[in-house]
Structure 1
Amino acid sequence: MPDKMPLDAILASLFPEGHAVTLADGLITGDGPLNGGRLAVIGIDGDTALGIEGACHLAGRVLDVVRAGGATPILVLIDSDSQRMSRRDELLGLNEYLAHLAKALLLADAQGHPTVGLLYGHSAAGAFIATALATRVLAALPGAHPSVMDLPSVARVTKLPLETLQAMARSTPVFAPGLDNMVQTGAVQVVLDPDKPLGPQVGALIAESPADDTRDALGLARGGRPVARDIAARVVGEVQGVVVREAQGA
């Protein structure tokens, strides 16, 4: 696995003319110039676990962008541990804080602020879902290592032998952690080239970002999720049918 690109190198490649992005307690906030405008930046660095304070702080920065209006895009940089699974955080409702951050990103996107995730290190579990998977488009850099749940944890939850899960992971990308599998399932749209300036690459992702979520279509095309798109379409069709029948009955 290649070494991950450090944050300072990423920021220098994104903003060669300088930026106002800062790092404090593992949390990234600020902005920088991009294509004649500004690019808002939030994120997590240093394999930091995302707790309630961090989730609330990052959500607040996203909502600040929404309140300011305009169409400022938001870049989410991600090198995190999983969520901070302390007893304190769990008792204070960590799941709700993570959901709040995810919903803030979805709101920003719905209000005209394109959201792009850039995974450059590790990320897992709730922290991965509330940041990377809550953006409209997710890209990555070589050296990134995402996972929704590692296989030892899956084994504990499912009670299946680890060896069985490892065998399944070799043929079924949905079971397997790692960047290549996330690309194959469509969760990661593209792996960027660290040897080229990142600003133009991120700018192109923003300009070309699809209006709708295309992860299921990518997963189908890449062979990583062959039935997800069909199942999702059937569910949507059933729901639409129920709405129509209820409206006719009313």
Structure 2
Amino acid sequence: MQWQDLARALFGEDHRIRQQGELLAGEADFDGGTLAVVGTTGHAPIGVALALAQARVVLDTLRDHPGRTLLLLIDTQGQQLRRQDEMLGINRAMAHLGCCIDLARRRGHRVLGLVYDQALSGGFITSGLVADACDALPEAEIRVMRIPAMARVTKLPEDLLTQLSQSNPVFAPGVANYVAMGGVRALWQGDLRAALAEALASASPQDLRARDGAARGGRRLAQSVIEQVLAA
């Protein structure tokens, strides 16, 4: 879905979201309040400049509008694979973005992520997965690592990883698997405006991903390990 169509479905004409290159930023009126909106479009690769631009929007919201809800619109192919960005410290820029989102949560801002098209690798980890909750459209594409790349990192055969992905969502891409693991809280279908209202009403600063993953059978041990550590 194009971001313009999504904005229209969510807010009608009551938004002031603007595109600057691959950056989306602005605000929208919703249910008697105003949301700050920041995100990306065009399967954006997240480089140093784009990460810092998003972080700037988040920090400006904290300074100018304390407590205002943040909506992250996610469409990214992951981090920018370019030597220039590596030399400039892409890892630190993306970590800075994640820290700004975390700071917003700590300051009492509700932060909701929505994957409306594509979410890959580090571009997703430092945005939607840092939010209070991350939802997605059913047609979204989500993955952190392709199986061939996973095979190179783990030194396990691709055939084995493919076999494991049939029964274990941790090894498999796809939005349904991220729902099973708890990384995506819910899929928005039908009335997107009603889905946003429900998502905002149920947003919690408590991280429930491991609990949801255990309940859905996608991450069977994470929650029990957390409980054991807390009890130690």
Provide the TM-score with structure 1 as the length reference.
Answer: 0.90
Q: Which among 181, 194, 200 is matched to residue 177 of structure 2?
A: 181
Three-state SS of the structure 2 residue aligned to 1:19 is coil
RMSD: 1.2
CA-CA distance at 1:49 after TM superposition: 0.4
Task: State how 1:142-153 maps to structure 2 within 5 Å.
Answer: 142-153=138-149
Query: Is 1:24 aligned to 2:13, yes or no?
Result: no
SS of residue matched to 2:42: strand
1:154-233 correspondence runs (5 A): 154-193=150-189, 195-196=190-191, 198-233=192-227
TM-superposition CA deviations, 1:128-187 (whole Å, max 9, x none) = 101110111100001111111111111111121111111111111011111010000011
The Cα shift of 1:70 comes to: 3.1
Offset at residue 69 of structure 1 (A) = 3.7
What corresponds to 2:33 in structure 1?
37
Q: In 1, Cα distance between the equivalents of 2:125 and 2:210?
A: 16
Pick closer, same or farther for the CA change 1:237–1:87 going to 2, 3 Å. farther
CA distance in 1, matches of 2:76, 2:12: 25
Which residue in the other structure is 1:241 paired with?
none
Identity %: 36
- Pairwise mapping of residues 1-80 of structure 1 onto structure 2 (< 5 A)? 5-80=1-76
Separation in 2, partners of 1:71, 1:77: 19
Q: Structure 2 matches for 1:111-130, cutoff 5 A?
A: 111-130=107-126
Give the secondary structure class of the aligned counterpart of 2:34: strand
Unaligned runs of 5+ in 1: 239-250
Match of residue 110 from structure 1: 106
The aligned counterpart of 1:234 is: 228
Work out which of the residue numbers 125, 128, 135 in structure 2 matches 1:132: 128
What is the TM-score with the length of structure 2 in the denominator?
A: 0.96
- Partners of 1:152 and 1:28 lie apart in 2 by 32
Q: Number of residue pairs matched?
A: 232
Bigger radius of gyration, 1 or 2?
A: 1
CA–CA separation in structure 2 for the residues paired with 1:148 and 1:30: 28
